Amino acid sequence: MRISMISEHASPLAALGGVDAGGQNVHVAALSEALAKRGHHVTVYTRRDATELPARVRVGRRLDVVHVDAGPARHVPKDELLPFMGELADGVARDWSQRPPDVVHGHFWMSGLAALDAARRPESGYRVPVIQTFHALGTVKRRHQGAEDTSPGERRWLEPGVGRSADRIIATCSDEVFELKAMGIDTGKISIAPCGVDLDFFSADGPVAARTARYRILSVGRLVPRKGVDLVIRALPYLREAGFDGVELLIVGGGGDSGVLDADPEVRRLLGLAAELGVADQVRLQGQVSRSEMPGIFRSADAVVCAPWYEPFGIVPLEAMACGVPVVAAAVGGLRDTVVDHGTGLHVPPRDPEAIASALAMLLDNPALRTELGNAGKVRARTRYSWDRVAAETEKAYQLAVAGAPAGVSPMEGAAL
């Protein structure tokens, strides 16, 4: 198949760990690569966010990344990108002018708008099937973040519109299917394909990052409040009470868009909290870490903690499991599918530092349990979450979309969005 991916803010070529660069970048990059390996021709369209980026980058055999001029050629927060989706669709449609693809796959709601717009133009024959992965849903974000949600107001109706208009939706976890249904989307057109993990790269064997004799708890991800890193800091005093006073909490990620740690208000907030709780000596902020260093850092941890308020999927627990490290995870969203309670880690209720501390104490107290859960995590990651398996599931969703695509959707339907 000739596959177009659209990922407006999340380039597969971007550095990770900044405010808007995380799982979606990994997902688009790895899925595209896995589909190309399966023999498909994949082009990823993303917004040009720096002047020096070339128009087209050949990433591998059958895999290209195209930087489309859509808005200013600098970083723009994703919640301010909506006005540029028309230009993005123009650039995509221009690139298709010789030959439209067999399918177009939008990532995130705004890319879905651009995908539908480009797919339903006369030059695209009005009928390129559109597949959509939301990665995150506005309804869920609003429920948890309330007034702090910076999404544009239009998301309220445009996102469900993308869901209704796309030929097929790929949900990344079972929880998302319920959310999509609640948004009024026909469950008959939803497929489930999770995110995957690069198993050659994230494995238990290989170099281990330097560490001290202290227990090491690891938190990895973009430093945004909803990731709940403050909850892990709040767990440290409880862990002390349980007799674990020498524990180190290593926090990877953060540093804002500049990558400079001190410039990140969330970093200042977390350090302030650690000082207030008297645990500053236990908390180490590492800032953004390159992909190549991540497996060694995972291997150096006794446990990985993921304590988000909500999580559309969460690739970090999969990476930890693939490296054989047990995961303490809030029982929310995708973490309920990936982490098996008392199987590959321990579930805790969301927003509960005391429960995080109890789960960590149970693990730190019991090396045999850590090994058992870590080993089970390796097996689970290997058997269920290889990118090749995810690509095969995605391919099935593409085939269903091609088979069921309407014969000719009028451009007005796209406009009605």
Q: How far is the CB of 75 from ligand UDP (least distance, A)?
A: 16
Specify the long-range contacts of residues 263-270, CB closer than 8 Å, at least 24 apart. Answer: 264/223, 266/223, 266/224, 266/225, 267/223, 269/230, 270/223, 270/229, 270/230, 270/233
Furthest C-alpha separation in the chain? 68
Pick one of 62, 155, 222, 299: the residue that binds ligand UDP (CB under 6 A). 222
**Is the CB of residue 204 less than 8 Å from the CB of residue 179?**
no
Residue number, 29 or 128, with CB nearest to ligand UDP: 29
Pick one of 221, 345, 353, 414: the residue that binds ligand UDP (CB under 6 A). 221
Q: Which residue is nearest to ligand UDP (CB)?
A: 22
Residue number, 25 or 43, with CB nearest to ligand UDP: 25
Q: How far is the CB of 209 from ligand UDP (least distance, A)?
A: 13
The reply on whether position 289 binds ligand UDP by CB under 6 A is yes
Question: What does each C-alpha distance from 143 to 174, 226, 246 come to in angstroms?
Answer: 18, 12, 37
Residue number, 277 or 322, with CB nearest to ligand UDP: 322
Pick one of 160, 253, 295, 353: the residue that binds ligand UDP (CB under 6 A). 253
Compute φ and ψ for 302, nearest 5 degrees.
-80, -30
Within 103-228, residue ranges assigned H as helices are 109-119, 138-145, 155-165, 174-182
List beta partners, residue 60. 63
Quote the CA–CA distance of 200 and 202 in Å, as a whole number: 6
**Binders in 294-323 for ligand UDP, by CB under 6 A:** 294, 313-316, 319
Question: What does each C-alpha distance from 158 to 9, 67, 147, 155, 162 come to in angstroms?
Answer: 17, 24, 19, 5, 6
Q: How far is the CB of 135 from ligand UDP (least distance, A)?
A: 7
Q: How far is the CB of 331 from ligand UDP (least distance, A)?
A: 16
Q: How far is the CB of 412 from ligand UDP (least distance, A)?
A: 35
The reply on whether position 333 binds ligand UDP by CB under 6 A is no
Q: Which stretch binds ligand UDP (CB under 6 A): 31-39, 162-170, 266-274, 285-293?
A: 285-293
Is the sign of the CA dihedral 252, 258, 262, 266 positive or negative? Answer: negative
Residue number, 17 or 345, with CB nearest to ligand UDP: 17
The reply on whether position 17 binds ligand UDP by CB under 6 A is yes
Q: How many CB atoms lie within 10 A of CB 187?
A: 11
Which spans of this chain sit near ligand UDP (rule: CB under 6 A)? 16-17, 22-24, 26, 220-222, 252-253, 288-289, 291, 294, 313-316, 319
